[in-house]
Amino acid sequence: MVEFGDMVDHFGFTLMKTFKQRYLISDKHWRKDGGSILFYTGNEGDIVWFCNNTGFMWDVAEELKAMLVFAEHRYYGESLPFGASSFKDSRHLNFLTSEQALADFAELIKHLKRTIPGAENQPVIALGGSYGGMLAAWFRMKYPHVVVGALAASAPIWQFEDLVPCEAFMKIVTTDFWKSSPGCPESIRRSWGAINRLSTAKGGLQWLTETLRLCDPLTSSDIRRLKDWISETWVNLAMVDYPYASDFLQPLPAWPIQVVCQYLKDPNVSDSLLLQNIFQALNVYYNYSGQAKCLNISETTTSNLGSLGWSYQACTEIVMPFCTNGIDDMFEPHLWNLKEFSDDCFKQWGVRPRPSWITTMYGGKNISSHSNIVFSNGELDPWSGGGVTKDITDTLVAITISEGAHHLDLRANNDFSYSGIFATVALPVRNLAFFCSISLCFQALEPSLAVHGNKERRESLSQPCT
């Protein structure tokens, strides 16, 4: 049994239990002399999958002589504190928090610096996207002695309480569809009523099941779930509206919203034709590979994401208010109702959210005393609505990527479109590594690269993430 043993509970001393935290490491381009460490603060999913979708780190590794480390977030992938029982009940889930995850990262970096000769005095830069980007930013804020800086890609650190309007997110989704053609969001907006009418018409449920090629027959109690599933599909498309064919949440063509909207240009059609068009659009997202026999309304994304763990986190500290009004956006009107949300959480997990805790802990908009964080956001990305999109100080810098979707900048450099993004984002990262290695940090380099300890769970990568 090999493992890096991180404490299950960093913030209490009764539970004296460790767990195996998985991390990936590549030292192919690493140099003891003048090198650096790029540390991916893993988010809500399998770390191999994030590694495979973070080509940026591989692209800059040689120039920065960087060791690459991808750390898996506790309760995701294979890093389960209580193995198969980790999600059993709220007692087992009690240690799934961002604070515990950051402490894991800090302990892991201390461990690496202690055990890899030459690493001890090198600068470490945190990188992450989405929730991982929030963690990268928070890591620099709370552990500035561990990381010299952070690239927080598409990190909605302000999607809490009333720091940003709760409708911002869905408005951006809507705008993304509107850019392809104004009829597209209008078709979607009208589709909800069409579904309501069809589902209550005689034979309508069966017709909908067949038209949308659903795996399971719809009953009238499924209609809410059906509409939520369709809504989430549009949201996901906005997140992954990349300029080249990609396979992040699903295999997709370049600019997938344009492809989807080809079917939804004309909103002025009958209910039944509208829903046939909606099917064509959904089919782009769920069946671009042509392998799907039917569509399953219980799934919207890759199984690499840990939706169970995320649901718990959303029910405790990562409480993000969303709302729609059906006018400025293409969705059915929906108010943010904390009471209802809290009751649902209590039913599902036996816990209640503390919506103001993240602001207490991480400062909300009052973060100007921190330093060395690059906040990058894609203009198309709905999460940019909760992100830092303007410079706060000289060292808290915002980068906006026009026509960029969700953490596009973390993806591998791509000839078809985006070498400009690479340069823009790589520059501050390069500066962090460079300035630290010449001034803030002291290079006391050891003579040789020793054999790595084998007490840790570790996957050395010769090729990216395999």
Q: Which of 7, 137, 208, 401 binds a second copy (CB under 8 A)?
A: 7
Contact 148, 395 (CB under 8 A): no
Contact 42, 50 (CB under 8 A): yes
Whole-number minimum distance, CB 255 to a second copy, in Å?
40
State the sign of the Cα–Cα–Cα–Cα dihedral 201, 202, 205, 211: negative
Q: Distance between alpha carbon 75 and the CA centroid of its chain, in Å? A: 15
What binding mask, one character per residue, do residues 304-343 give for a second copy by CB under 8 A, x or -?
A: ------------xx--------------------------
Catalytic residue among 6, 46, 241, 381: 381
Nearer to a second copy, 240 or 319 (CB): 319
Q: Which of helix, strand or coil describes residue 463? A: coil
Q: Which of helix, strand or coil describes residue 76? A: strand
Whole-number minimum distance, CB 363 to a second copy, in Å?
3
- The residue range among 10-18, 36-44, 272-280, 426-434 that interacts with a second copy, by the rule CB under 8 A, is 10-18
Whole-number minimum distance, CB 356 to a second copy, in Å?
8
Query: What angle do the packed helices 98-115 and 131-142 form, to 10 degrees?
Result: 70
Residues of the chain by 3-state class (helix, strand, coil), percent to 5: 40, 15, 45
444 is a site residue for a second copy (CB under 8 A):
no
Contact 93, 312 (CB under 8 A): yes
Contact 348, 311 (CB under 8 A): yes
Nearer to a second copy, 303 or 356 (CB): 356
Which residue matches tokens 């026009």? 402
Contact 238, 380 (CB under 8 A): yes
Whether 111 sits among the annotated catalytic residues: the reply is: no
- Looking at residues 84 to 103 of the shown chain, list those that interact with a second copy (rule: CB under 8 A): 90-91, 93-95, 97, 99-100, 103
Catalytic residue among 36, 79, 98, 130: 130
Nearer to a second copy, 270 or 369 (CB): 369
Under DSSP, the state recorded for 221 is G
Whole-number minimum distance, CB 93 to a second copy, in Å?
8
Nearer to a second copy, 108 or 401 (CB): 108
Nearer to a second copy, 251 or 364 (CB): 364
Q: Which of 14, 291, 439, 462 binds a second copy (CB under 8 A)?
A: 14
Nearer to a second copy, 103 or 194 (CB): 103
Whole-number minimum distance, CB 131 to a second copy, in Å?
17
**What is the C-alpha R_g of the chain?**
23
Q: Which of helix, strand or coil describes residue 385? A: helix
- Looking at residues 338 to 397 of the shown chain, list those that interact with a second copy (rule: CB under 8 A): 350-352, 354, 356-357, 360-361, 363-364, 366-372
The values of phi and psi at residue 296, to 5°, are -110, 115
Whether 216 sits among the annotated catalytic residues: the reply is: no
Catalytic residue among 406, 407, 409, 437: 406
What binding mask, one character per residue, do residues 15-44 give for a second copy by CB under 8 A, x or -?
A: -x----------------------------
Which residue matches tokens 């493992």? 3
What binding mask, one character per residue, do residues 282-301 give for a second copy by CB under 8 A, x or -?
A: --------------------
Whole-number minimum distance, CB 396 to a second copy, in Å?
13
Query: Which residue, 315, 322, 344, is CA-closest to 160?
Result: 322
Nearer to a second copy, 59 or 344 (CB): 344
Whether 92 sits among the annotated catalytic residues: the reply is: no
Per DSSP, the chain holds a count of helices (H) and strands (E) of 15, 12
Pairwise CA distance, residues 154 & 404, whole Å: 10
Q: Which of helix, strand or coil describes residue 353? A: coil
Whole-number minimum distance, CB 73 to a second copy, in Å?
16
β-strands 149-153, 373-378: how paired?
Answer: parallel
- Which residues on neighbouring strands pair with residue 460, listed in sequence order? 25
- Looking at residues 129 to 158 of the shown chain, list those that interact with a second copy (rule: CB under 8 A): 142-146
Nearer to a second copy, 197 or 354 (CB): 354
Which residues have C-beta within 8 Å of that of residue 342, sequence separation ≥ 6?
352, 353
Residues annotated catalytic, as ranges: 130, 381, 406
Residues lying near a second copy in the complex (CB under 8 A) are found at: 7, 10-14, 16, 90-91, 93-95, 97, 99-100, 103, 106-107, 110, 142-146, 316-317, 350-352, 354, 356-357, 360-361, 363-364, 366-372, 440
